Every structure is written in structure tokens, then in C-alpha cells.
Amino acid sequence: MNEKNHLFSNHALKMLLIPLIVEQFLTSLMGTADSMMVSNVGSAAISAVSLVDSINILVIQAFAALSAGGTIVCSQYIGQKNIEKATESARQLLLAVASISVLVMAICLSFRTPLLRLVFGKVDAEVMEASEIYFFFTALSFPFIALYNAGASVYRAQGDSATPLRISVVANGLNIIGNAVLIFVFHMGVAGAAIATLGSRVFSSVVVLSFLRSPKNKIAVKDYWSIRPDGKQIGMIMKIGIPSGVENSMFQFGKLAIQSTVSTMGTVAIAAQAMTNILENLNGIAGIGIGIGLMTVVGECMGAKRKDEAVYYVKKLTLIAEVVVTVCCLGIFLLTKPITILGGMEPESASLCLYMMGWITVIKPLVWTGAFIPAYGLRAAGDVKFSMIISCLTMWFCRVSLCIFLSRHFGMGPMAVWIGMFSDWTLRGIFFGARFHSRKWLEKKVIQ
């Protein structure tokens, strides 16, 4: 295809994708830095943060899915060159996300103690007390992280991923500084960590909403208090966002089920699996950034009724992601041994981690990209139910059930987790590849 006639030049793709990749890396590294700071407070504190974050991530992933729905609707209107409708969709996204997040916050604050006891059962009194404190402040931050995600999604829909990156850099810096001051200077423990998180999220949401008012934006959102619900627009966003939210939530539930299985394998296995999880997350995070960018690209192509270009960009960005993920896998594998030494891991745990990372480095470049990147394009075209069904089925049958079966009946230890994961990736890749080549996803309609 002639590059000059495309909606997105190579330069435009680079300007969209690079900030997204950097932001994904930054978010992951800042989460690790947060955990390291809290670990200095004591075992009860780090346990509380780990437990509560398993709930927080579930909630935040649901908000992110709704925001992704907004990205797709807005980008399709931009593809139609209907900026008025794109702006109205952005306004409705912000209203919907604000309303839902405030409701979720109210429920979590009202029932935080029963909810924590229901999810975690009987834990030490010290851990439960710290969990309640941490959950209180992080629940307060739900509307702010939800509004930031929604605002950032509006920017990405118009091809601007640099502005959310700049906001994220400053907010994460404030979070780290806040942690350092409140934990080490004022000795506030988990409350200090949670307040720092709350403060950084308030900052992010206020700044992104302020920036969105600028008339320089393709989509400029003003007069927030004048926004009134539009059932049709909200319905379009929810039609995309809810299936994606179910998919993300099921993924988090699956992670919890796997964590419960690994927790019975002994300290060597737990330590090895924890480090392997961190490293595997890092070697795939650039690919996720490319996938998020692909939603904007395919959304605009579908809005402009340029279906051939949508197909072209799914292929092109999948190939780019393949190269990037392969390089990242090799780079992280070379760093694995030094990281385990610097992390002070026991030799047995370090050896097991290196063994698992070896398998991941071989298998992931072969099957991961096909399992995940085309799916972002399918969702952007409106093919969200297929994505939800396939992702949930492969996750529960392979990632969870196969993992539990292999670990309990064959005593395979944490390697059972990765065999389940490899099976999940492979099956997903087969199903999504077949769906992509069938072109049925091009027949979906998001907007009129």
C-alpha cells in the first residue's frame, strides 16, 4: 500500500507508540519502587499493600476498560471527521466514569472491613488493620484514577499520547517523593504510602481535565458541570467497555487463583515465581503499549471506512510488536541473573527463576504477540464479545485449570504456571488469528 495515502504516517505512528511504551514501562517500574519503599515498614505493611492492591487492580482495570471504550468511540468519530460527536462522546465518557467510580468508592468505603474479610478470610490482626487503612485512602482515589484514565484515553483517541506521558511522569515523581517523605520522615507507614498515591492521582486527574479544556486540542472538553447524560452515547461506550471490563476482571480473578496455588509450593517456589512474574511483565510491557496505540489507529480507520487500512495496520503493528517483544525478552533474560544477585535471592530460588525465564524467552516471542496484539485491533473495530469469550475460556481452562492440575497431580511446581500460560497464549493466538483472517470483525459497527 502507498504510505503517503495512509491515515497514519510512519512518523505519526512513532509519535503515538513511543510515549505509550514509555508510560507502560514507567508505571510498572514505579509500582515496583512503591513496593520496595513500603517493604521497609515491615512485613505486615507489605502484606497489607499486596492484599489490598489485588482488589484495587481489579477496580482500576474495570475503569481502564470503560476508558478504552471511550477511546474507540472517539477515534471512530475522528475517523469520520465528526469532531462534534467525538467531543460529545468524550464528555459522556467523563460523566459515566465519574458517576460509576464515585459509586464504587462509596461502596468500598462503606463496606471495606466486611469486604476485606470476605476476600482474604482470617489474616493477622496487624495485617488487617494496615489493610483497612490502606484500602480507605486508595478507595478515595478511585474517582481520580478513573478520571485520569478517561482523560488520557481522550488524548490517545486524537493521536496524542505524549501529554498523558508527561502528566504520568510528574505524578509518579510526586508519588515517590510523597512516599519518601511520609514513610521515612513522618513515619506514617501504610497510611503514608496510601496518601502519597491519593495525592498523585488527584494531581493527575486535575491536570488532565484542565489540559482537555484547551482549544488547541482536536477534542476540547469545557464546562464540565454542564454535562448531562446522553443514553445513546453512553450506551455505545458501555457496549465496548463492559465486555472489555469483564475480560480484564476475569484475568485478575485468574491471577488470584494462580497466586493461591503458588502460595502452597513453599518459599523457594514463591520467591522464584514472584521475581519471574516481575521480569515477564517487563519483557511484554512494550508490546502492550503498541496494542493500546493500535486501538486508536484501527478506530480511526474504521470510522473513516478504510477497512483495508485497518487490516494493514493490524499486520504492521503486530510485526513491530513481534520485533520489540523479541528484543525485550532477550534483554531481560540477559539481565535476569544480575537482577537475582542484586535482589539477594537465595541460590535455589534464583536458579529456578533463571530456568523459568529461559523457557519464557524461547516461547514468548513465538506465540505472545499473535495472542494479544491483533485482539486490540479487533476490539477497536467493535468485536469485543468474541475477544471476551475467547480470553475468558483460554484463561480459565489453560492458565488456571491446567496450572492447578499440573501442580497438584504432577508436582511440577511454579513451572506449571508457565506451561498453563504458554498454552493460553498459543490457543488465543490460534483463535484470534483465525478471527482476524476471517474478516468478520470488519463487519462490526460501533457508531452510526
- Helix ranges (DSSP H) in 111-264: 112-120, 125-140, 142-157, 162-179, 189-211, 231-262
Q: Which of 42, 47, 39, 40 is nearest to 123 (CA)?
A: 47
**HSE, side-chain direction, 13 A CA sphere, residue 280:** 24
CA distance 172 to 193: 13
Q: Report DSSP state, residue 185.
A: I
Q: Three cell numbers at 270? A: 514463591
Contacts of residue 369, Cβ cutoff 8 Å, sequence gap at least 6: 287, 318, 321, 322, 325
CA distance 397 to 386: 17
Distance of CA 70 to the CA centre of its chain: 15
Per-10-residue mean pLDDT, the chain, length 448 = 75 95 86 74 79 86 92 96 96 97 96 87 84 94 97 96 96 93 92 94 97 95 93 93 89 79 82 87 94 96 96 97 97 93 86 96 97 96 95 92 90 91 96 97 90
CA distance 151 to 158: 11
